[in-house]
């Protein structure tokens, strides 16, 4: 099976009680991803080799492949993890009275500061993500991780949350669809459009409804609609 269709090596997750070895593995994983993203942002995908990434991360080539199947996987991880961490932290910081959609919209308001600070890097990374087949495939794969993180972070904001409730994950999927479509519109404008405004507009289309009693009883899909 191709590395583009095989499952990605999962990022190690720190847990209470993890020892020094586990923490070092996590640090090494993130250092490789960070260096891969930095080098590719500066040089481009084709001009960056696994050897370059390994040298920058101060590891050997064999060690690189113990963490990642390819440079595309490492780059996608490096591109995605920082802003995903930012969004999850922003979601957790939202006032408890906000509903799930309102919390998502408020959390993505922090995205405007990142665009102003790192706009050129975001533009280069976005262009590479959509123009490099391998990188595009893994970026979409990591979007699934983002959907899961948003779902986990917003679930408690559903006042009527039920077992196996599909709405948190649906909210995560709709949120990431909004981000992807907004980025496409931004790139189509040659980055002249206001990306934070595009994201806000897309997110404002999301509307989450209560589960009908019959749907909850029979395990049916939750009602979500995008109000256009």
pLDDT at 23: 85
Say if CB 146 and CB 167 are below 8 A apart.
Answer: no
pLDDT at 110 over 90: no
pLDDT at 187 over 80: yes
pLDDT at 41: 86
Quick one: pLDDT at residue 5? 28
pLDDT at 2 over 50: no
CATH code for the part of the protein at 70-226: 1.10.357.10
Instruction: Tell me how far CA of residue 177 lies from CA of 55, 62, 132, 202, 226, in angstroms.
Output: 36, 36, 19, 9, 11
Please report the pLDDT score of residue 10 as a whole number: 42
pLDDT of residue 116: 67
Q: What global pTM score does this model have? A: 0.72
| All structural domains of the chain with their residue ranges | 70-226
Q: How many CA atoms lie within 13 A of 33 on its CB side?
A: 25
Q: Which residue's structure tokens are 């790192």?
A: 118
Most confident by average pLDDT, 19-23, 94-98, 106-110, 117-121:
94-98
């Amino acid at each position: 099976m191709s590395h583009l269709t095989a499952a990605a090596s999962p990022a190690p997750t720190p847990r209470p009680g993890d020892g020094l070895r586990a923490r070092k593995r996590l640090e090494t994983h993130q250092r490789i991803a960070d260096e891969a993203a930095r080098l590719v942002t500066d040089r481009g995908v084709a001009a960056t080799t696994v050897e370059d990434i390994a040298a920058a991360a101060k590891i050997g080539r064999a060690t690189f492949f113990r963490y990642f199947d390819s440079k595309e996987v490492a780059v996608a991880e490096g591109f995605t993890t920082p802003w995903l961490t930012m969004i999850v932290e922003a979601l957790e910081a939202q006032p408890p009275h906000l509903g799930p959609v309102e919390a998502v919209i408020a959390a993505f308001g922090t995205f405007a500061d990142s665009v102003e600070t790192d706009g050129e890097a975001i533009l280069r990374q976005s262009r590479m993500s959509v123009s490099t087949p391998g990188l595009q495939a893994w970026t979409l794969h990591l979007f699934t991780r983002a959907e899961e993180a948003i779902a986990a972070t917003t679930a408690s904001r559903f006042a009527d949350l039920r077992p196996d409730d599909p709405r948190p994950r649906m909210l995560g999927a709709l949120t990431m669809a909004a981000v992807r479509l907004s980025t496409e519109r931004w790139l189509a404008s040659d980055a002249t459009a206001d990306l934070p405004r595009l994201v806000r507009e897309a997110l404002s289309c999301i509307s989450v409804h209560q589960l009908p009693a019959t749907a909850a009883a029979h395990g049916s899909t939750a009602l979500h609609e995008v109000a256009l």
